[in-house]
Amino acid sequence: MPEVEIFIQDMAAIMLVAGVVTVLFNRFKQPVVLGYIVAGIILGPYTPPFKLIKDEHTIHILSELGVIFLLFSLGLEFSLKKLSKVGATGMLVAAAEISLMFWVGYEIGTFFGWKTMDAIFLGAMLAVSSTTIIVKALSELGMKQEKFAQLIFGILIIEDILAIGMIALLSGIATSGSVSMGEVGSTIGRLLLFMIVALVLGILIVPRLLAYVGKFKNKEVFLVTVLGLCFGFCLLVMKLNYSVALGAFIIGAVMAESRHLHQIERLIEPIRDMFSAVFFVTIGLLVNPHVLAEYWLPILVITVAVVLGKVISCGLATFLSGHSGRTSMRVGMGLAQIGEFSFIIAALGVSLKVTSDFLYPTVVAVSVITTLLTPYLIRLADPLSRKMADVMPNKLSSVFNLYTNWLEHLQPHGDRAAISKIIRRILLQVIVNLALVAAIFIAGGYFAESLGHSMAGWIADRQMQTAIVWGGALLLSLPCLIAVYRKLQALSMIVAEMAVQPERAGAYTEKVRKVIAEVIPAVSIIGIMFLIVVLSSRILPPMNLLIFVLIAVAAVAFLLWQKFVRLHSRLQIALFETLDEQPDEKH
């Protein structure tokens, strides 16, 4: 039989079985995702009648498209604005959940005597809750608009980002085989740097490009452009040794800032649904029911650990960040399951060949059970929190009340709140600009060799070449550096104003303030220069050339100061415009 026919036959088998099973699951109000997994188990080699998929190779390649489009869609739903709203609570809950669950998962793996890598991957798989399942459960319970649901969605966004970081880390650990804290730190640092730079440049370029293509009013050209950007960025990310999932998520988040967001969502949705079906079915393909019978004890233990661990960590963290007991219980119960990210991490382990065969079906089983439990847990939240309030000793509940009041008191109010908001904003801008500078110098170091080669024709001296590359990088980062300097000046004036009060400094007030306002930027600039030297150590020219380059760049900076300021502020305005723009109405 020719290969194309085998492929059609496989697709027909997948879609027919998935269609029948999901219709049945939908009829009995169970999540579609579970239907796909069951369809996969039926199609797989371990269940009668027989192996119904002939060309697993091609199907697995297609399932990779499922991962890409799933994460691309997740990125489309991501928004920097939503993220800033949930802010502290989201960070705290996500961090608490992920660190506790990672530790619990690792300990369970070690307890059962599994390989270290299995234990690490188990920890990672338990760490993150499932957006798909939660959205589905909440919308079926009609609770999607409630406050705790909005909180859950915010937490999920942060979890997604951390999960993507975890995927990057796991790939590194799995290939190098070791876990050093320094390496973890530098991986996370480089990842954050990459994400900031990609988001800033992406939001500057992509929405404008899409607006241009959107003007043609040709759906087909628009779709191909979106797909070109998506796959192109995934390729770039892959070449930088990050996972395709990360790329798809970031480019999705960038496109989320486009005016054409709803159009993109409408076009991508059917493609995502088609390939995510293939992806979830291939998960089922790998599930061996015999393994489940053999590993019933770990499955049970992990399930209990997931439910208890997530309810406790998420619930407690929500409460500690100042929400009511009822909301906290609802958030904890809502997040008590694992889902698609666990599958992606499991698939990563299989494709890197570092995890054992039993881990995949075990985790799928836990996901299936916790998914089925989710709607019941959410419904259980209110009665349970009432019950807990009833049985709680009065003393304990007054301690809780005290805590809530103290937290309320901690929040800045009035003028202080306004100032702290300004300071946060300035610090954020400084960080973003520094990230851009760092990216320019890292890229300079990366491309120094090939840039040198292309210059070899007219500049033979290697040292001259590196001096030119280094000077070029410095010149490119000048607008950002100048912006950083100006922001820090503003910041130090605010700090001076706040720190030096006339009541205490008396007649010296103005002078001390001035000193502070001058010293902070100067010291910071020296620190930044030191950072640059460290980052660009590979391409740093020798001292005599360095001084020459520095003088030249300083001269340029002096002459074109106003031009650079204007250029930077124009780019910044463009960025904020794109961020503030509302997507077109759905139509």
Asked if residue 15 binds its own copies (CB under 8 A), the reply is: yes
DSSP structural state of residue 58: H
CB of 198 within 8 A of CB of 250? yes
Q: Which is nearer to its own copies, 105 or 247 (CB)?
A: 247
Q: Which is nearer to its own copies, 102 or 233 (CB)?
A: 233
Q: How far apart are CA 172 and CA 246, in angstroms?
A: 14
Among 205, 235, 300, 422, binds its own copies (CB under 8 A): 235
List of residues 6+ apart from 154 with CB closer than 8 A: 82, 83, 85, 86, 89, 90
Distance of closest approach, residue 227 Cβ to its own copies, in angstroms: 4
Q: How far apart are CA 290 and CA 32, in angstroms?
A: 24
Q: Which is nearer to its own copies, 216 or 576 (CB)?
A: 216
For CA atoms 378, 379, 384, 385, give the dihedral sign.
positive
| Range in contact with its own copies (rule: CB under 8 A) among 54-62, 77-85, 551-559, 569-577 | 54-62
Q: Which is nearer to its own copies, 157 or 245 (CB)?
A: 245
What is the C-alpha radius of gyration for the chain, rounded to an integer number of angstroms? 27
**Cβ atoms within 10 Å of 388's Cβ, excluding its own:** 13
Among 126, 151, 229, 482, binds its own copies (CB under 8 A): 229
| Range in contact with its own copies (rule: CB under 8 A) among 13-21, 411-419, 453-461, 490-498 | 13-21
- Label residue 114 exposed, middle or buried (CB < 10 Å: 0-12, 13-18, 19+): buried
Q: Which is nearer to its own copies, 4 or 529 (CB)?
A: 4
Asked if residue 32 binds its own copies (CB under 8 A), the reply is: yes
Among 189, 270, 383, 502, binds its own copies (CB under 8 A): 270
Among 277, 285, 448, 478, binds its own copies (CB under 8 A): 277
Distance of closest approach, residue 584 Cβ to its own copies, in angstroms: 17
Asked if residue 2 binds its own copies (CB under 8 A), the reply is: yes
Q: Which is nearer to its own copies, 16 or 399 (CB)?
A: 16
Among 46, 112, 231, 358, binds its own copies (CB under 8 A): 231
Please give the backbone phi and psi of residue 46, each rounded to the nearest 5 degrees, phi first: -90, -10
Q: Per 3-state DSSP, what percentage of the chain is helix, strand, and coil (rounded to 5)?
A: 85, 0, 15
Among 9, 288, 324, 429, binds its own copies (CB under 8 A): 9
Among 87, 189, 232, 527, binds its own copies (CB under 8 A): 232
DSSP structural state of residue 584: P
Distance of closest approach, residue 454 Cβ to its own copies, in angstroms: 16
Q: Which is nearer to its own copies, 7 or 295 (CB)?
A: 7
Q: How many residues bind its own copies (CB under 8 A)?
A: 57
| Range in contact with its own copies (rule: CB under 8 A) among 53-61, 175-183, 448-456, 471-479 | 53-61
Residue indicated by tokens 């793996």: 109
Distance of closest approach, residue 66 Cβ to its own copies, in angstroms: 12
Distance of closest approach, residue 125 Cβ to its own copies, in angstroms: 20
Q: How far apart are CA 47 and CA 539, in angstroms?
A: 60
The helix-helix angle for 219-239 and 181-214 (nearest 10°) equals 160
| Range in contact with its own copies (rule: CB under 8 A) among 12-20, 426-434, 471-479, 507-515 | 12-20
Q: Which is nearer to its own copies, 32 or 151 (CB)?
A: 32
Nearest in space to 491 (alpha carbons), one of 566, 428, 408: 428
CB of 175 within 8 A of CB of 352? yes
- Which residues, 325 to 354, sit near its own copies by CB under 8 A? 351
Nearest in space to 253 (alpha carbons), one of 200, 187, 302: 200
Distance of closest approach, residue 559 Cβ to its own copies, in angstroms: 38
Asked if residue 61 binds its own copies (CB under 8 A), the reply is: yes
Query: On the CB side of 116, how many CA atoms lie within 13 Å of its CA?
Result: 6
Q: How far apart are CA 46 and CA 43, in angstroms?
A: 9
Distance of closest approach, residue 265 Cβ to its own copies, in angstroms: 11
Q: Which is nearer to its own copies, 170 or 438 (CB)?
A: 170
Distance of closest approach, residue 581 Cβ to its own copies, in angstroms: 22
The total number of residues written for the chain in this structure: 587
Terminal-to-terminal C-alpha distance of the chain: 46
Q: Which is nearer to its own copies, 354 or 467 (CB)?
A: 354
Nearest in space to 285 (alpha carbons), one of 9, 40, 556, 455: 40
- Which residues, 189 to 228, sit near its own copies by CB under 8 A? 213, 216, 218-221, 223-225, 227-228
CB of 248 within 8 A of CB of 67? yes
Type of residue at 192: L
| Range in contact with its own copies (rule: CB under 8 A) among 8-16, 440-448, 515-523, 539-547 | 8-16
In the structure encoding, which two tokens stand for residue 176, read together?
């190098």
Q: DSSP alpha helices (H): ranges in 240-335?
A: 244-255, 261-285, 289-294, 296-320, 325-334
Q: Which is nearer to its own copies, 90 or 247 (CB)?
A: 247
| Range in contact with its own copies (rule: CB under 8 A) among 64-72, 309-317, 356-364, 577-585 | 64-72
DSSP for 516-557, written as a single string: HHHHHHHHHHHHHHHHHHHHTGGGPPPHHHHHHHHHHHHHHH
Asked if residue 5 binds its own copies (CB under 8 A), the reply is: yes
Residues that bind its own copies in the complex, under the rule CB under 8 A: 2-5, 7-9, 11-12, 14-20, 22-23, 26-27, 32, 57-58, 60-61, 64-65, 68, 213, 216, 218-221, 223-225, 227-232, 234-235, 238, 244, 266-271, 273-274, 277, 351
